[in-house]
Amino acid sequence: MRVIAGKYKGRKLKQVPGTTTRPTTDKIKEAVFHKMGPYFQGGICLDLFAGSGSLAIEALSRGMNEAICIDQSKTAIRIIRENISALQLEKECYIYRNDALRALKILHRKQQTFDLICIDPPYDSPFYDRIITYIIENKMINDRGYMYVEYATEKQRIPRFNTFDIVFERTYSSTTSVLVLKNIT
């Protein structure tokens, strides 16, 4: 796993060991970020279910100013810290160990909004609808901001909202599909 483009292009990232975390492949990251930009002119990224932090790191490499990584796993938090430290991104990236929905509620109370929100939970997660609905209803994505969702092709149906355009939607295998939405309000 590596950073695909931008300031940290080619830098290798550590993965979370074991099978509980499923990293986003380089092929998917490259395709998705190319459709979103491929570069950003500032902004804030939220990486829910961050795993290794690779999506947040890719966003920072491509021009986001800040990123927040949320994960529940102690091991994932350790790997994110190691990846962030290796790239000397400690001032740009904030890492929190928390449940995704609880973290969203805390960020909402702080009136935090984002230019990019990455949602890539374990495929058997029942939280897609609740998380996406919470983000939309509480206006946590800035105007013209993006929401990236990676999900199980066969198991999940992702809610759609009138205030978002589909920028990119593709099935990569029998298990992995990707949806990128852009806020048009």
Residue 93, domain member (yes or no): yes
Q: Which two tokens stand for residue 48?
A: 């829910």
Quote the pLDDT of residue 176: 78
Domain that holds residue 46: 26-183
Quote the pLDDT of residue 184: 87
Residue 70, domain member (yes or no): yes
What are residue 139's phi and psi, to 5 degrees?
50, 55
Residue 102, domain member (yes or no): yes
What CATH code is carried by the domain that includes residue 82? 3.40.50.150
* Tally of domains within the chain: 1
Contact between 26 and 2 under an 8 Å Cβ cutoff? The reply is: yes
Residue 2, domain member (yes or no): no
Beta strands in the chain (DSSP E): 44-48, 66-71, 93-97, 114-119, 141-151, 164-171, 177-183
Each of the 185 residues of the chain gets a pLDDT tens digit; together they read 899 999 999 999 999 987 667 778 888 899 999 999 889 999 999 999 999 999 999 999 999 999 999 999 999 999 999 999 999 999 999 999 999 999 999 999 999 999 999 998 877 777 778 898 899 999 999 999 999 988 877 766 666 678 888 888 888 876 778 888 899 87
Residue 178, domain member (yes or no): yes
* Residue 20 backbone class (left: φ over 0; alpha: ψ -120 to 50; beta: rest): alpha
Residues 6+ apart with CB under 8 A from 19: none
